[in-house]
Amino acid sequence: MAMMTGEQYVESIRKMKIKIFLFGEQVSSAADHPILRPSLNSVKATYDLAKKPEYEDLMTVKSHLNGARINRFGHIHHSTDDLVKKVKMQRLCGQKTASCFQRCVGMDAFNALFSTTFECDEKHGTHYHKNFLAFLKEAQEKDWTVDGAMTDPKGDRGLAPSRQADPDLYLRVVERRKDGIVVRGAKAHQTGICNSHQVIVMPTIAMGPEDKDYAVSFAVPLDVENLFMIIGRQSCDTRKLEGSSMDVGNCEFGGVEALTIFDNVFVPNERIFLNGETDYSGMLVERFAGYHRQSYGGCKVGVGDVLIGAAALAADYNGAGKASHVKDKLIEMTHLNETLYSSGIACSSEGAKTKSGNYLIDLLLANVCKQNVTRFPYEITRLAEDIAGGLMVTAPSEKDLRHPTLGKYVEKYLRGVAAVSTETRLRILRLIENLTLGTAAVGYRTESMHGAGSPQAQRIMIARQGNLEQKKQLARDIAKIK
């Protein structure tokens, strides 16, 4: 099967019987609900962009499995050039959607599992790599969007999975059969899972022998029996129900998260990629986290480009675009954004080949990248809000602007420079609001803190990867200390 068009992708999701609950009611289709559709549109954009000749080199690549041209989101990285192009592709997608486009977690899960299953098989004589390759081949041929699910609810963070008061607070195997396993538990904060064809489940932490039932990785379709999801709320989410393209800020694209429940889900043997090998749970977590922290050096930068542009336009519309302090703030925003990008490119350029043949980013630099992402977007949004002014959060609605009596007052008193209409000014301010405070803030500002692991997770990895003893020896050598 050739790569799908965006519309073909939408129809493929519409045909699936995915169980989705929102505001206590079951949603018939993610493709047709006004709150969920912008999120689907963001994924659709990754299909549309792959069909444009000018983006072919970034968005598509030849599969190493069959030589066919595939969407890069389904690719296994086989060089540092692949790793660099991944980041550049993510920046492009962020620029075109100004939101989370949701396919990164699946791509990062693919690459983490590719090498981890290979090395697990090498040690334990398992056949997980064969299972994974068969799944990957089908995913590429059918051009699936695949979600990656790692984050468990965790319960008491001070206790291991098997010591929790409720054993289901980490997803686990509850039954082993000849033909497969039955799993129970949940995965939290699952971005874009309601827009996916399949989900890859992974453990969320390194585990000891006593947590054997929790060291599990597998893939299932999203419409599998006994799997359902509960959509999370976002700030300003019900604005999408009002029919105003102006008030939502980003009228076409968005992101959405869900708590996904696995209530005794059966997984056939051929879709299992880890099953009790606790000594490889940590490797899988570390490699997935590394790839995903690399991703933030692309996707968040692309959204940052849009926010910087919006702030610059707001300054122009306010008549302050030439003010030196505004210019300096835009320079600082650009400096911070490009620093994030440089971290993403650096960890990609310094990647190395694994035993399996695919390429792993430099883990230290990937964690440095994500550590920066937990900080810089907050300063970028602060500066954007500073430049935009208070009207960003006090402006009347589009209905007031269109009102036969009130509209002339909104038009008169909320205009900035005379050459720019009030509606134009309000539209750009609503976009900034969306990116910094509204629904897109989940995919930009707040997700910058917690997505791919909160700050302390990166600091732990930086401590492990930082090679402090080597640095001590460098100092001894220079100081002539034996």
- Catalytically annotated residues: 100, 104, 191, 257, 292, 296, 299, 447
Amino acid identity for residue 330 in this structure? L
Report which secondary-structure segment, H or E, holds 108. helix 104-124
Give 263's strand partners. 184
Task: Provide the residue type at 370 as one letter.
Answer: K
- The answer to whether residues 438 and 249 touch, using CB atoms and an 8 Å cutoff, is yes
Q: CB–CB of 428/310 below 8 Å?
A: yes
Return the axis-axis angle of helices 281-318 and 324-349, rounded to nearest 10°.
160
Of 25, 24, 27, nearest in space to 37 by CA:
27
CA distances from 273 to 63, 319, 480 (A): 21, 58, 51
- Number of neighbours of residue 338 by Cβ within 10 angstroms: 13
- Placement of tokens 């299909």 in the chain: 47
Task: Please give the single-letter amino acid code of residue 157.
Answer: R
For residue 62, give both structure tokens: 């030849």
Contacts for 218 with CB less than 8 Å, ≥ 6 apart: 181, 183, 200, 201, 267, 271, 272, 273, 274
CA torsion, points 358, 359, 363, 364, in degrees to nearest 10? 160
Please state the separation of Cα 203 from the chain's center in Å: 18
- Separation of CA 394 from chain center: 30
Is 165 strand, coil or helix? coil
Instruction: Choose among 195, 63, 46, 55: nearest CA to 141.
Output: 63
The sign of the CA dihedral 257, 261, 266, 270 is positive
- Residue 127 CB-half CA count within 13 A: 7
Instruction: Count the neighbouring beta carbons within 10 Å of the beta carbon of residue 476.
Output: 11
Q: Please say whether the dihedral angle defined by the alpha carbons of residues 228, 233, 236 and 242, taken in this order, is positive or negative.
A: positive
Task: Give strand ranges (E) for 37-171.
Answer: 60-62, 69-71, 146-149
What single-letter amino acid sits at 478?
Answer: I
How many other CB atoms sit within 10 Å of the CB of residue 122? 12
Report, in angstroms and rounded to the nearest whole number, the Rg of the chain calculated over CA atoms.
Answer: 23
Q: From start to end of 257-400, where are the E strands?
A: 258-268, 272-275, 352-353, 359-360
